[in-house]
Structure 1
Amino acid sequence: MTSVLAYESAYKSACAPTVSSKANPLAYLARSATTSPPPSGAVAGTNCSDCSLHSICMPAHLSATELARLDAIVCSTRLVRRGETLYRAGDKFKSIYAVRVGCFKTVITHRDGHEQVTGFHIAGEPLGLDGVCSDEQNCDAIALEDSKVCVIPFDLLEDLCHDVKAMQQHLHRMMSGEIVRESGLMMMLGTMTAQQRVAAFLLNLSSRMKTRGYSSAEFNLRMTREEIGSYLGLKLETVSRMFSKLQQAGVIDTNGKQVHILDSEKLAGV
């Protein structure tokens, strides 16, 4: 129980964005979840100030002038169809990305060709920050469904951070969140049982969904059981068995990729 709660608390404290109590991304996200993405090549408005995810992606209380500068550096949006790659390991690092619609997995390929999932990223979360340290991308980012990202050239973002302290602090928080996420993953892989890992995964995803206006108790998994296993360091059969075990205990209910958390406190106490 302690390990699951510690992992969830650490991730939430570092990665939870500063969101105004009046922020309401629900309407935009609900439309995104129930309608098809724009045709390939179409580009919607990219203004951060007009986006319902602004309060999640960016710091609150920017002035009109600062918002205008932020809008100016978000040069475009990019559509990435399911199964397509946003960037690959070894690509030159030029931009970071904000997921506007959809879900991505990040993957590292080992020398023997084995793929390891290192993370799942949903709307309002950054992609590509791992490229800052080496000036090249260190993993592949692959869309798990038709998705859209905002493209933010990093050199322009650095210039903005130099002038706008709130943006600099927000960028630092994002980087810190990535550090805590990875250390939390290491703790999970090193100290938790298989059942605790699956429980922690579901609790974390539940919390992130709630922040974005979705139900925290009922949601669809965009990733396969095999991809979850790769992320949690478990075999596919083990993941499936743990889901069945949690369902038999009356903690969750599953139907394909749909998950309904029946008792979040009991899930946290696994």
Structure 2
Amino acid sequence: MSFTKTTEQASKYQHLEQMSVTDLLININNEDKTVPLAVEKALPQIESLVTEITTKMKQGGRLFYIGAGTSGRLGIVDASECPPTFGVPFDLVIGIIAGGDLAIRKAVENAEDNTEQAWLDLQAFTITKNDVVIGIAASGTTPYVVSGLEKCNKNGISTGCITCNAGSPLALTAKFPIEVVVGPEFVTGSSRMKAGTAQKLVLNMISTATMIQLGKVKGNKMVDMQLSNNKLVDRGVRMIMDEISVDYTLAEQLLKQHGSVRNAVDNYKQTN
């Protein structure tokens, strides 16, 4: 099957090295402005995948991201933010990158071309039919990612993807594909730019909407967030002050006693 990789098409800008810094920044920014509009067109696809993830998680399932290079790193970033933000276990949302943890900082040669490793990486987590696996690849052709989803499909595991080329092998493989077509990059083929931004926006939507559906946000606040630094403790104290109308000292005491904003508020309301 042949299809057009718009992410690999030539930039519409020429002679970048001759541009002033001002022109470079203006033109990059102008290209970046188009990304949210491309994401908007994919909202129905995103909704379908979020609904599937929420359903599976309510049955005890987990969410896996698999990717190579920038795409893999973006998945790891999103997964790593879920425990501190929403107070969920560290193994509820899991990011896997081709080449292993070494590849987070440094490219691992030929890792993305391995057609067997993704399934092995997933099996290390004892993956089941309750889980959902999202393959992330701007090109939509990364062998590590495509083959991983193929194996998941054969084993009855729900699959989604985030790609920036329409009609790609990855999109055709995923049961719940998300295609955000951002077009050629400012620097030809540099998919860490618009494509990476699009992937980050979609990942934000997926994890945040899912966690809200699972009850991890109350009102508009992260009531289950982990209190891992002074800034977050202060934020938690102020949430409690707003919710139950107590002063800072009492709110801080309640937070330390009960360990989370949700528990502090619930316990106070039950006893007062």
Fold agreement, TM-score > 0.5: no
Taking structure 2 as the reference length, the TM-score comes to: 0.28
Greater Cα radius of gyration, structure 1 or 2? 2
> Which structure carries more strand by proportion?
1
